[in-house]
Structure 1
Amino acid sequence: MKVLIVEDEKPAARRLHRMLEQLELPVEHTVHSVKEAVEHLSNNTPPDLIFLDIQLSDGLSFEIFDHVKVDSAIIFTTAYDEYALKAFKLNSIDYLLKPIDVKELEVAVNQFKASFRESGNPIHNKAQFQPIDLQQIAKLLNEPQNAYKNRFTVKVGEHIKLFATDEIQLFYSENKGTYINLPNGRNYLLDLNLEAVEARLNPKTFFRVSRQAIVHINAITDIISYTNSRLKVKINSFTTFDLVVSRERVKDFRRWIEG
């Protein structure tokens, strides 16, 4: 039984890999983009099961089906909110909401194993995907009303915590991880990279001051002139590193704070 993970977030891919191993479903290979997935599926025996992230670094994963025939069972993994998930529910597509809960993953894996034992075939083959309008689903995922997230979820031990986007002061990256910072000073690890976060935030409310940080307009307590025509932003309770608006972003930042 062969499993392929298609996930552009390497920490998320490693976590899913470990979880599947614990469920005795070994992963044969992991790829991180549409391009890598197409190359792998074109040059290797099809896997029995694919865990497929929806939003990859170089496009929506649906684009894979435009380039290569996929006869594998597929379980989509997604950080999209409830509105977008309606498309999957209506089309009876299996999906897991990020951050992936181990119990939900176990249910999905057990269903796949049971089906595989009974028929020797994947749960969903290409024939079952044909009546599904993947272009329509992709369109729904890109609808303007779904552009901005209202909340983010983080996994803390065995619990999943929900944080309203407006209560988050700052998103930042450090040591290959992406974190949210709250007014109480607490930081939580997200299962997304900063680019993916930025794409889902309202640009009227959030601004990416540097490659390392995105700040909420209401969280800024002070703005200070800094060296080389840059600006330093102060946010209460955040002391991990200096929030410096890079020189090439200063003009846009000034325009942003003026509304």
Structure 2
Amino acid sequence: MKTLIIEDEKAAVRNLTAVLRQVAPEQEIIDVLDSVADVLEWVATHPMPELIFMDIHLADGSAFEVFERVDITCPVIFTTAYDEYALKAFKVNSIDYLLKPIAEEDVRAALQKLRILHGTPADEPDFLRLIKTLNKAESYKTHFLVPVKGDKLLPLAVDDVFFFYIADGIVKAVIREGKEYVLSQTLDELTECLNPDTFFRANRQYLISRNAIKDIDLWFNNRLAVNLHVPTPERILVSKVRAGDFKEWFAGGR
């Protein structure tokens, strides 16, 4: 199996290479890259490998920048010293998430998972089936505990939230009755932990629920103006670039 290693620590590369030689000698390491820029250039000039081992923190940025700019269509096993990116990792083509220092049993288990998932017969390509299998196991946040007056925490159901927005650096959740609650999460964090079938990041200021949408106006320069069932501090505009994604999401195609 042709394998690409994306890692900026030389010691980690040596360790992973040694582990692979021990537990999976059939793995052919075709290249080692250490930066987002190198990965983007490599993908543009080489066929996709059969497997990628990828560190999350690279020399010039986050590995997730790669997925935002190019299509990685092979399975990925993430390797990192941190565990806070696990949910985000499984939203891309990840089949496992290994914490450093990586041991032989970790790699052996990850490769076994890959073999099992790829070995399942199907009418569609194995990798598409793999991604669907992982998505079924993925869970999204359903409730928040938000501070209210005094020393209380109020349970807030995600299903009751019509939209999240940021103003003056403060993120708020607005429910169907129009009440607002201040949250500690950023909009980026909320986008990652909420079900993308239900919530859409309309722009940098708004994350909206499908259930909240009243109607949509065609706006200037091929943008969309989304009107909700509750008042919003300002007009919610979806850019021309994202208008197609929004329509597909609203129609249930995402």
TM-score, normalised by the number of residues in structure 2: 0.46
Highest Rg: 1 or 2?
2
Which TM-score applies when normalising by structure 1? 0.45
